[in-house]
Amino acid sequence: MRTALHTISYSGSWGQARLSAEETVERAAALGFHGVMLAAKRPHASLLDMDTEARRRLKAKLRQCGMNLECLAAYTNFTADAEHAEVPHREMQIRYVTELCELAVELCGRIVRIFTGYEHPALPYSRAWDLAVSAVKECARRAAEAGAVIAVQNHHDIAGHSETFLQFLRAVDEPACRAAFDAWAPVLQGDDCVAAARKLAPLTVHTTIADYVRLPRFRYQSEFVNYVREADFVQAVPVGEGIIDYKGFLTALQEHGFDGSVAYEMCSPLRDGNDLATLDGYARRFLEFMRPWLNAPSAARRRVQSKT
């Protein structure tokens, strides 16, 4: 396995310290990551800003720091604005993904992470499913033409559960469409993330890690002199201190064939604050946590080694 820092962690998006894409690459190298997962939106790698000179600078920075582009993170929602079907949102997003595939290859990378879609009141679930499948299928075909691979992350509503996610990938059925399967969604859904990892490992080329604790929420109802339970608040904590069994998850992935990149992201307010020292501390904790899996051979390599 290889480690990557998701640059969104230093984007300032949730009030945390903000660094440029090039500064984040330098930070990741100094901390000891193998590479970066580069956010394909402002303030980092928006296609609106990635002109020829910006691409040259970023590629040079990656090379200078000895860093790999492990993943380029696209932000898609193929069911967006469904009540206005005359606006070709899916076509725009497919073009966005296509250009990101070309950018990833130009930056000596290969994997572009995408999402499916959120449920939308203007779409029956089956129609939303079909739209997402067809969009991802076309993205995969265009990725293959560019020499890239798209990796679907189990993040949005459509195909969010591990069983549904597996069936979604089977429906897409394209060689250049793989999984960016993560553990946090199964855990929050009450699923067994270790069992899910065993099933999805052969399809997974990238995964992203963030750990959380559940903080119970109750709303007081004065007329009943009582409280009603609300959805838990989920707060980010250092890896290994939360509710997600990452030891079991990563071991299951590795034992069933995964040998890809593992990115760390800080994509919500952190329990211990949002200053640069806290971000760096969380990132270092992740790297320490990852040590057991970095040198252990995957199941596929062990099979090869046993034959030689």
Gap between the Cα atoms of 148 and 101, Å rounded: 6
User: pLDDT category, 305, cuts 50, 70, 90?
Assistant: very low
Residues 150/101, Cβ–Cβ less than 8 Å: yes
What pLDDT is stored for residue 300 in this prediction?
44
DSSP H or E run through 219: strand 211-221
pLDDT tens readout for residues 93-102 = 999 999 999 9
Gap between the Cα atoms of 232 and 218, Å rounded: 9
Backbone angles phi and psi of 264, in degrees to 5: -110, 130
Question: 3-class SS at 204?
Answer: strand
What pLDDT is stored for residue 301 in this prediction?
44
Instruction: Give the closest residue to 74 by CA, choosing from 103, 53, 32, 35.
Output: 103
- The number of angstroms, rounded, from the C-alpha of 214 to the middle of its chain's C-alpha atoms is 21
Asked whether residue 277 carries a pLDDT value surpassing 60, the answer given is yes
What pLDDT is stored for residue 295 in this prediction?
75
Question: 3-class SS at 65?
Answer: helix
pLDDT > 70: percent of the chain:
96
pLDDT > 90: percent of the chain:
95
Full-model pTM = 0.94
**CB 291: neighbour CB atoms within 10 A?**
10
12-40 mean pLDDT = 97
DSSP H or E run through 156: none
Residues 156/117, Cβ–Cβ less than 8 Å: yes
User: pLDDT category, 297, cuts 50, 70, 90?
Assistant: low
15-24 mean pLDDT = 96
One-letter amino acid at 125 equals Y
Residues 177/169, Cβ–Cβ less than 8 Å: yes
